[in-house]
């Protein structure tokens, strides 16, 4: 019996298998950061009865965007577009969580209100690129958030989460990985603050925990989740004691009785395989010792390695990204060990239906002949 294809409960929901659509930035939103029919079709294609999807990183605050074409939920005008997406998923018997994020310093002034500077915990030089009308361009050096501005960041996540209710989502995931704002506050390579949001593990985790509790106030804890990347270096991230930091974060999140904790395995850097990954990484196997709740693992899995991590008990579900892009029927292909369509990396970010909704589902020889 396959453990990967056994029933599992996540918060109040029960799913027929443990293959999850990972949150994937695809940059196909229409003007105003509004999802349109093309996005709805994309999610519908990847939905089957009993399926669990996590929608792509969605901007929670007007100054939180790092990618032209990313969808938002920082304004009421964006609700209807997302409702189109959730309705298509629910019509096919699936459930969908919304991932909310703030890019923080990983942005460019072109994407900021009134051309302002991106914000972050501290003014620390860093690399990285943002996506604008001019294509991929260097990030604009950020300014440090003033202490009095931080409650406004927390409130933006609460109000975006409330719009998520109106948009018909089934839950909310906070993105605290990949060098975005929460991650920037967590790790001391980017956080040099001396106020209550800097210094100790407790202080650096404060923003994430405050935002998580704010979203819980809207949704209830069993429909809220957090994604972290304990060994991630994407976005020039680093920490002097990552084991201590992320152990603390996992322990504190465990107290909140979340729907799940989503962990990015270190074998992937951004959207490519990392050949220089830490041979002794902080990943699900270590975090499991400090987090007894539901864990979703993501990062370069195959059907066999997904089966192995679930059987070992280090994760309860596995999220797939690149292979779910090119195989809308990925769960069934993995279940029956069918060949996979190759993915086309140049079409990952932005564009049209090409490389987005034109990947075929598997057809048997008899169906092809017919």
Q: Is 1 exposed, middle or buried (0-12, 13-18, 19+ CB in 10 A)?
A: exposed
CA–CA separation, 110 vs 108, rounded Å?
5
DSSP assignment letter at 109: G
CA distances from 112 to 106, 107, 140, 209, 251 (A): 11, 8, 10, 25, 35
What gap in Å lies between CA 205 and CA 183, rounded to an integer? 9
**Selected catalytic residue, list 180, 197, 291, 356:** 180
Alpha carbon distance 209, 84 (integer Å): 31
Residue identified by tokens 């991630």 is: 232
> Is residue 180 annotated as part of the catalytic site, yes or no?
yes
Cα gap 131→119, rounded to integer Å: 17
Q: In the 3-class helix/strand/coil scheme, how is 199-268 assigned residue by residue?
A: CCHHHHCHHHHHHHHHHHHHHCHHHEEEEECCCCCCCCCCCCCHHHHHHHHHHHHHCCCCCEEEEECCCE
Beta strands in 12-166 (DSSP E): 13-15, 19-21, 52-54, 58-59, 95-101, 119-120, 129-132, 135-138, 143-144
By annotation, the residues acting in catalysis are: 180
């Amino acid at each position: 019996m396959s453990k990967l294809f056994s029933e599992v409960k996540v918060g109040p929901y029960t799913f027929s298998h443990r293959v999850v659509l990972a949150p994937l930035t695809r940059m196909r939103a229409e003007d105003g950061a509004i999802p349109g029919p093309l996005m709805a079709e994309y999610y519908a294609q990847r939905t089957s009865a009993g399926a669990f999807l996590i929608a792509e990183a969605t901007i929670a605050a007007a100054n939180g965007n790092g990618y032209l074409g990313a969808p938002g939920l920082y304004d009421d005008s964006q609700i209807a577009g997302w409702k189109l997406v959730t309705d298509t998923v629910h019509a096919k018997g699936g459930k969908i969580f919304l991932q909310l994020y703030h890019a923080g310093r990983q942005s460019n002034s072109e994407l900021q209100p009134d051309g302002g500077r991106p914000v972050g915990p501290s003014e620390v030089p860093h690399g990285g690129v943002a996506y604008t009308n001019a294509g991929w361009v260097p990030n604009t050096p950020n300014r440090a958030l003033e202490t009095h501005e931080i409650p406004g960041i927390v409130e933006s996540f609460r109000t975006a989460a409330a719009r998520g209710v109106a948009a018909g989502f089934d839950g909310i995931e906070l993105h605290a990985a990949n060098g975005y704002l929460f991650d920037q506050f967590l790790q001391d390579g980017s956080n040099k603050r001396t106020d209550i949001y800097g210094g100790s593990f407790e202080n650096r985790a404060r923003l994430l925990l405050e935002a998580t509790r704010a979203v819980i106030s809207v949704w209830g804890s069993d429909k809220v989740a957090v994604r972290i990347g304990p060994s991630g270096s994407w976005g020039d991230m680093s920490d002097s004691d990552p084991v201590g930091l992320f152990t603390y974060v996992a322990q504190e999140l465990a107290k909140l009785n979340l729907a799940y904790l989503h962990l990015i395995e270190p074998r992937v850097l951004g959207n490519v395989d990392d050949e220089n990954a830490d041979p002794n990484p902080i990943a699900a196997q270590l975090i499991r010792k400090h987090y007894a709740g539901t864990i979703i693992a993501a990062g370069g899995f195959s059907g066999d390695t997904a089966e192995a991590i679930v059987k070992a008990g280090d994760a309860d579900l596995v999220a797939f990204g690149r292979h779910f892009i090119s195989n809308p029927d990925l769960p069934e292909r993995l279940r029956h060990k069918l060949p996979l369509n190759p993915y086309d990396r140049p079409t990952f970010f932005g564009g049209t239906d090409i490389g987005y909704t034109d990947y075929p589902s598997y057809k048997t020889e008899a169906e092809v002949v017919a």
